[in-house]
Copies of this chain bind each other. A is one copy, B any other.
Amino acid sequence: MVGNSLKRRGLMFVLSSPSGAGKTTIAHRLLQEDMEIAMSISVTTRPIRPGESDGLDYRFTDRAEFAAMIERDEFLEWAEVFGHFYGTPKAQIRAGLKEGQDFLFDIDWQGTQQLYQRMETDVVRVFLLPPSIEALEERLRHRGTDSDEVIHSRMDRARFEISHWDGYDYVVINDDIEACFEQVHGILCAERLRRARQTGLVDFTRDLMR
């Protein structure tokens, strides 16, 4: 799909799924093959790991500063996961959207709800589903050493995640990774063509009618 060259407002592309449905693969391909979308860089209180760069993978900070940022209402969404805090800073996203930059969000339904409440018209929510419960279980069993109990708890978690499917704009079933990628990328390209995002249309149509 070729884009036209009019000025447009960027969008926030949310990709959610139960773990094991292939979301990470799809997200990586989007970032590799589409030059207009980037991962949003989160602020986190978790310690930096070897190989990570501050400001590239995450913006690393401490709990006091994170709490102050919440207090100053500087996050579009934030969450605590296993004792560490993660948040999406408003300023970076707002500036990017204005310049036509799209952002990819790999977040769960709670983060999605927070984003949507604040930035409704800029958010496009896509949910991936596995083709069957058997396929999902097989993907979750990939580490052969896990006990049935661990598998059982992962499946429960997946069912819980699936139960929020109806809070999304689009649903794609990941039966074949190639077809699934085409569909997800197609949604992104179509959403860029929405009249309301193409801010350049005001001047463009005015010139056409001169």
Contact = CB atoms under 8 A, between A and B. Distances in A.
Nearest to A126: B193
Contacts of A159: 208-209
A193 B170 contact: yes
Interface in A11-25: none
B194 A1 contact: no
Interface in A175-190: 175-176, 179, 182-183, 186-187, 189-190
A182 to B, nearest CB: 5
A166 B194 CA distance: 10
A183 B168 CA distance: 23
Contacts of A149: none
Nearest to A165: B205
Interface stretch (A74-82, A91-99, A107-115, A127-135): A127-135
A27 interface: no
B136 A208 contact: yes
A15 to B, nearest CB: 13
A160 to B, nearest CB: 9
Contact of A171 (B130, B162, B165, B198): B198
Contacts of A68: none
A63 interface: no
Contacts of A186: 1, 186, 189-190, 193
